[in-house]
Amino acid sequence: MKPSFLWSRPFLSSRPVLWLLFVCNLLGTIYGYIWYDNQLLDTWEKHPHWQIVFVPDSPTASLFFTLSLLFLLFPAGLSRFKFLRGLIEGLAVVTSVKYGVWAVSMIFAGAAQGGELVWQDWMLVASHLAMAVEALLYVRLFRFGTGMLLVAGAWTLLNDAVDYRYEVYPWLPQTLWDNVPQVMVFTFCLTIASMAAGWLALRGAKRAKTEF
C-alpha cells in the first residue's frame, strides 16, 4: 500500500475511518470543554452571560468538525439540511485550522520565553495539529462553497474581536501575559490565513474533481 492511500478519497470516505474520526473528535470535544471549565465558570461569574459562547474556541472548532462527519456518515438522512451542512463544514475548516495552529503556536511561544513543557502540552500539540490537518484533508469531501467560507471567516473574526475586546480569549501561558497585544495581532492574522488555506484547499479540490 502506498503512503498516499492514507489521504486518498477512498480511504478518507470509508466508514471505518469516518467512525473512528467521529469518536476521536467527539471525545476530544468533550475533553476540550472540560479543559475550559474554570474559564467558563469565571466568565459566567464576571462577564455578561452572552460572552460565554466565545470562550471555548478549540472544542467548538472540534465540535463543528465532528458534526461535519455526521453529514458524511449519513448523507441520505441529512440531505435536506444543505444550508446547515455548508455552514458547519465552512466553520469546521476555518476554525479547526485556525485554533489548531493557534494553540500549538501559543504553547511553543510560551516555552520559548521560559515556560516549561509538560506531557499535557505535547498531547495538546499533537491533537491540535491533527485538527488542522484533518480539516484540510476533508475539504475534498465537504460541500461548502466560497460563500460559506466567508461566513465562517466573518464569525471567527467576530470571535477574535469579542475575545480581545472583552478579555475572554483563551487563558495564555504565564510567560505570555505581557504579550497579549502581539498575541491579538497574531490571532487576527491567523484567522485570515486560515480562510486563505481553506479557500486554497477548496480550489484544489474543485480542480482535482474537474480533472478527474
**102 in Cβ contact with 51 (< 8 Å):** no
Rg (CA), the chain: 18
More confident residue, 6 or 16: 16
Report how far residue 91's alpha carbon sits from residue 166's, in angstroms, rounded to the nearest whole number.
22
The pLDDT of residue 207 is 73
Residue with cell 466560497: 146
Confidence of residue 180 (pLDDT cuts 50, 70, 90): very high
- Can you give the pTM of this predicted structure? 0.93
